[in-house]
């Protein structure tokens, strides 16, 4: 499955370890949520990056004690119509201050890519190579946004104020 990260198609360096499979030594690994929570102390003590595949029907608050130790959180979209992982991403970025890699997995469609970026995702598993190419181009398409978001980019008004500009204030009399 193609992986898009920071607007580039990249090789996925993480290995997925099923619940009953041994964890490979020295390799970055993604484990299921239940396995991670059962063995969290042991997994974060490994000498390699650890990631967790988190379902969208589970509270991200359960991850809070481990977020500083996790290199990757992969949030799953079981269907394109199910947007709970958007909320999880915003919570992880804005409420819990997670700064590691936030990956979208599952039924991720090309018309959702810009919204996923704005919610705080920075990597995406896509099913079709053509979607990966489209997303890589779309990631750089927009540089200014009006709404605040979890992707860390300041909205247009804040950018203008930071650069010494004044907000254009219009009153009814001025119209």
The structural domain count of the chain equals 1
**In the numeric block, which tokens belong to residue 85?**
């992982």
pLDDT at 2 over 90: no
Domain that holds residue 88: 3-143
Query: Residue 124 — pLDDT band, cuts 50, 70, 90?
Result: confident
Is 42 contained in some domain? yes
Is 92 contained in some domain? yes
Element spanning 115, H or E: helix 113-119
pLDDT at 89 over 90: yes
Is 165 contained in some domain? no
- pLDDT tens digit sequence for 133-160: 777 676 666 665 545 555 666 665 565 6
Is 132 contained in some domain? yes
| Percent of the chain surpassing pLDDT 70 | 77
pLDDT of residue 159: 59
CATH number of the domain that 58 lies in?
3.20.20.70
Is 24 contained in some domain? yes
Phi, psi (5° rounding) for residue 151? -85, 0
Is 62 contained in some domain? yes
Average pLDDT for residues 85-97, to the nearest whole number? 93
Cβ(137)–Cβ(114) below 8 Å: no
Is 171 contained in some domain? no
Give the global pTM.
0.78
Is 49 contained in some domain? yes
């Amino acid at each position: 499955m193609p992986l898009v990260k920071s607007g580039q198609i990249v090789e996925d360096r993480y290995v997925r370890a099923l619940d009953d499979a041994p964890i490979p030594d020295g390799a970055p690994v993604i484990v299921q949520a239940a396995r991670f929570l059962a063995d969290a102390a042991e997994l974060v003590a490994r000498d390699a990056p650890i990631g967790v595949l988190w379902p969208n029907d589970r509270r991200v608050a359960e991850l809070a004690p481990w977020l500083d130790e996790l290199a990757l959180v992969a949030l799953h979209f079981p269907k394109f119509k199910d947007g709970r992982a958007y909320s999880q991403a915003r919570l992880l970025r804005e409420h819990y201050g997670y700064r590691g890699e936030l990956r979208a997995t599952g039924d991720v469609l090309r018309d959702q890519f810009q919204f996923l970026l704005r919610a705080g995702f920075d990597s995406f598993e896509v099913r079709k190579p053509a979607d990966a190419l489209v997303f890589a181009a779309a990631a750089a398409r927009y540089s200014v946004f009006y709404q605040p978001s979890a992707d860390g980019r300041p909205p247009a008004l804040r950018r203008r104020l930071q650069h010494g500009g004044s907000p254009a204030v219009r009153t009814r009399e001025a119209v």
